[in-house]
Each structure stands twice: as structure tokens, then as C-alpha cells.
Amino acid sequence: MTFSAPQYIPGETDLVLLIGPEEIRFEANHNILASQSKFFEAACRENFKEGNERVIKLPEVQFEPMIKVLAWLYRADPEVPDDFMGDEPTSTILNILDVADFLYIDDLVKDYSRSVERKLQAWDPSVTQIEAAEFGNCVKVMNKIYQARGSIKRRELLNFFRKLKSSSRNISWLMDAASKVAEPNGKFYQNLSYVVMKSCI
């Protein structure tokens, strides 16, 4: 199975990606990949030496999130649904952020950071209630953003926590979810502690 870059993008396809253990082919333009990814920048430099085959193998990367990352590289917006705290959307976002982290695509992580901030800002506790499991998913997504060298603005975290406090939902649920994260990021937890303290003032 072979996939190619969108035809409306200028520049010929001059590079082949072999994605996942199945080595699904994606034909791309090296300038587009290398301009956004430190991983691809280094890989293209090596593969474009005289005599080298212009193929980059990515056996560690899952195909579905990789295609979404490639769509972003070719100008698609990040996909953060309104119900991003649900199990399936959370899993999708975490997988995309894993790929972005692995490939050092920091601007994609920043785009997801801003998108999540907008979702937190738009949340209306009088309209949509958040259950305990969704708290856990929300924390996982934010923690992964920090792991991938992104961040959530303290102001947005604080506003979200204050809305939690004003609703029937208990902040302790979120803190309980935070305590269960497998690989906590120090900077995220520092910001989390700060906004919990501030939201109680």
C-alpha cells in the first residue's frame, strides 16, 4: 500500500517513508518534512548523501497517528474534538503526541497545546459535566503535552480549575487522576500544584 503527499503542495515527492512494521509506503517531499522536524532534518541529511537510497524507515511508529502527523505537516489543522476527554479521542491524541515527540515536531505539539487550551476555555460546567474517568484522560493529555516539550498556559489551567471549583465536580478527583499518571512530567506537576493553590484563594 502506498500513500502520496497531497498534489496541491508545491514540490515533487523525492523521499519514501516506510511506516510501521508493515512498512507502509508514504511518498513525500523532504523539504516539507525537514523544515518541521529535527528528526527528519537529520535523517534527510544522511539519506541525501550521494549514493544513498532516499528511504526512511519508521518501524517504531504506528501508521494511523503517523498519517495524522503527516497531514499536519501538509497544512491540516490538529484534530481535538469537543469530547477530547473521552477514551477514544484521548487515545488518538496521545498516540499523535507520541509520534510528534519521537520525530521532534515541536510546532505540532504547540498547536495541540493551544487547541487543548481552547477546549478547556470553552468548557461550560452548566452544560457539560466531567466524570472521574474523563478527569484522568484530561490529565494524561496535558501531561503528554509537557512530555513532548509543550505546555498549557497557567492562566488557562487556573481558569479551568476555578470552573471545576464552581461546579459540582471535586478538584480532588483531578488530583487523584494526577497521582495515577505513569510518567509524570515535573514541569506539568509544578504548574498543577500552583493552580490548585491559586484556585483555592
Do residue 144 and residue 184 come from a single domain? yes
Do residue 81 and residue 177 come from a single domain? yes
Do residue 47 and residue 138 come from a single domain? no
Do residue 59 and residue 86 come from a single domain? no
Task: Note whether residue 201 is domain-resident.
Answer: no
Do residue 107 and residue 183 come from a single domain? yes
Give the residue from 24, 46, 70 where a domain finishes: 70
The per-residue pLDDT for 123 is 87
Task: Note whether residue 96 is domain-resident.
Answer: yes
Is it the case that residue 69 has pLDDT exceeding 90? yes
Which segment, 43-47, 128-132, 137-141, 179-183, is predicted with the most confidence on average?
137-141
Give the residue from 55, 70, 85 where a domain finishes: 70
Do residue 185 and residue 89 come from a single domain? yes
The per-residue pLDDT for 10 is 47
Q: Report the number of distinct structural domains present in the chain.
A: 2
- Residue corresponding to grid cell 496521545: 94
Do residue 83 and residue 62 come from a single domain? no
Quick: pLDDT tens for 79-92.
888 888 999 999 99
Task: Note whether residue 61 is domain-resident.
Answer: yes
- Percent of the chain past pLDDT 70, that is, above it, reads 89
Task: Note whether residue 10 is domain-resident.
Answer: yes
Do residue 29 and residue 50 come from a single domain? yes
Task: Note whether residue 20 is domain-resident.
Answer: yes
Q: Look over the chain and give the mean of its residue pLDDT values, rounded to a whole number.
A: 86
| Prediction pTM value | 0.88
Task: Note whether residue 186 is domain-resident.
Answer: yes
Of residues 182 and 23, the one with the higher pLDDT is 23
Is it the case that residue 76 has pLDDT exceeding 60? yes
Quick: pLDDT tens for 13-38.
888 999 999 999 999 999 999 999 99
| Integer-rounded Cα radius of gyration of the chain | 19
Is it the case that residue 71 has pLDDT exceeding 80? yes
Q: How distant, in Å, are the alpha carbons of 146, 167, 201 from that of 134?
A: 19, 15, 25
Quick: pLDDT tens for 96-141.
999 999 999 999 999 999 999 999 999 888 777 778 788 889 999 9
How far apart are alpha carbons 110 and 148 in whole angstroms? 9
Non-local (6+) Cβ contacts of 70 within 8 A are 5, 26, 28
Do residue 53 and residue 141 come from a single domain? no
Is it the case that residue 66 has pLDDT exceeding 50? yes
How far apart are alpha carbons 43 and 37 in whole angstroms? 10
Task: Note whether residue 94 is domain-resident.
Answer: yes
CATH of the domain at 33: 3.30.710.10
How far apart are alpha carbons 145 and 108 in whole angstroms? 10
Give the residue from 30, 51, 70 where a domain finishes: 70
Range of the domain at 185: 77-196
- Percent of the chain past pLDDT 90, that is, above it, reads 54
Q: Region 168-187: what's the mean pLDDT?
A: 80
Is it the case that residue 51 has pLDDT exceeding 60? no
Do residue 87 and residue 146 come from a single domain? yes
Do residue 64 and residue 89 come from a single domain? no
Task: Note whether residue 83 is domain-resident.
Answer: yes
Residue 3's pLDDT band (cuts 50, 70, 90): low
Do residue 84 and residue 35 come from a single domain? no
